[in-house]
């Protein structure tokens, strides 16, 4: 599928996987609407992408766990960019601890950002895609959404839920030529992983954000008549 001059919204775009996907799409000539919580990261990325690739880039700040923030951000980006052809639900948070160690407020916050944030952004974008009778949604989930682990109850629950959301929405909207895909990478060498205390090991051998971006790009380039429902990505030999 030709991506040039299409328009994508990316959440969590200021760093890590979101930044890598934004860069990959800009290289393909995709115009971008970038969402994150802080303006500084977005402004730096916007200026760099415009200068290097000549695409249109608009930015909006939002806490995706707050529906009014999401609705305002998506409305702003749509007004500035027009159509929304691609949505990358990438924003997420992680924190680990046993069920009894983790405070309920922290557990709820992880669910609110990772699950409800994905829901809010998808809900804000879908009417435009349905009206266009075309669209692509990629939800960045995790292998933690396929198999639970000790200390991961909140994070795993949120990512299991994202996979369930993805499966259900794709069944609802495929009749409108909208493809909904879940990516399930294992640990990626990002600030999020390091700050959450995940074992990174040899950073040179670990999966990089750019690897996930390549997978996202490959799924988008498939002929419109087909899509990959779930795509996993693993580090070959991290030790």
Q: Is residue 63 in a domain?
A: yes
Provide the token pair at 219: 């799924």
CATH number at residue 107: 3.40.50.720
Place of tokens 């609110």: 112
Provide the token pair at 162: 């994202």
Q: Is residue 217 in a domain?
A: yes
pTM of the model: 0.95
155 is known as an active-site residue: yes
CA gap 207, 11 in Å, rounded: 20
69 C-beta neighbours (distance < 10 Å), count = 18
pLDDT value at residue 196: 59
Q: Is residue 74 in a domain?
A: yes
Q: How many structural domains are present in the chain? A: 1
Q: Is residue 116 in a domain?
A: yes
Alpha helices in the chain (DSSP H): 16-27, 39-53, 67-81, 104-111, 117-132, 153-173, 191-195, 209-221
CA gap 239, 237 in Å, rounded: 6
Which of 53, 119, 120, 155 does the annotation list as catalytic? 155
Question: What is the residue range of 68's domain?
Answer: 7-233
pLDDT value at residue 204: 78
Q: Is residue 239 in a domain?
A: no
Q: Is residue 184 in a domain?
A: yes
pLDDT per residue as tens digits for the range 163-173:
999 999 999 99
CA gap 112, 120 in Å, rounded: 10
Provide the token pair at 1: 């599928």
CB of 64 within 8 A of CB of 75?
A: no
Written as tens digits, the pLDDT of the chain (239 aa) is 899 999 999 999 999 999 999 999 999 999 999 999 999 999 999 999 999 999 999 999 999 999 999 999 999 999 999 999 999 999 999 999 999 999 999 999 999 999 999 999 999 999 999 999 999 999 999 999 999 999 999 999 999 999 999 999 999 999 999 999 999 999 898 777 666 566 666 677 889 999 999 999 999 999 999 999 999 999 998 87
pLDDT value at residue 59: 98
Which among 53, 69, 71, 118 has a CA at the least distance from the CA of 91? 118
Q: Is residue 1 in a domain?
A: no
CB of 90 within 8 A of CB of 185?
A: no
Q: Is residue 238 in a domain?
A: no
pLDDT value at residue 238: 80
Place of tokens 């700050």: 195
């Amino acid at each position: 599928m030709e991506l040039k001059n299409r328009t994508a919204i990316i959440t969590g775009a200021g760093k890590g996987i979101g930044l890598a996907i934004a860069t990959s799409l800009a290289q393909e000539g995709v115009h971008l609407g970038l969402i994150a919580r802080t303006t500084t990261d977005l402004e730096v990325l916007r200026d760099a992408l415009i200068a290097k690739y000549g695409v249109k880039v608009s930015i909006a700040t939002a806490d995706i766990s707050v529906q009014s923030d999401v609705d305002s951000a998506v409305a702003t980006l749509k007004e500035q960019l027009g159509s929304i052809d691609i949505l990358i639900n990438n924003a997420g948070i992680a924190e680990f601890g046993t069920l009894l160690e983790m405070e309920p407020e922290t557990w709820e916050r992880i669910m609110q950002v990772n699950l409800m944030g994905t829901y809010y952004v998808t809900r804000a974008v879908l009417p435009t895609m349905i009206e266009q009778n075309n669209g692509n949604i990629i939800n960045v989930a995790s292998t933690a959404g396929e198999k639970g682990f000790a200390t991961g109850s909140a994070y795993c629950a949120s990512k299991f839920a994202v996979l369930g959301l993805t499966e259900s929405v794709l069944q609802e909207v495929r009749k409108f030529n909208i493809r909904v895909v879940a990516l399930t990478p294992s640990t990626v060498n990002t600030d999020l992983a390091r700050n959450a205390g995940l074992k990174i090991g040899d950073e040179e051998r670990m999966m990089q954000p750019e690897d996930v971006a390549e997978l996202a790009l490959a799924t988008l380039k498939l002929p419109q008549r087909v899509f990959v429902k779930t795509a996993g990505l693993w580090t070959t030999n991290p030790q």
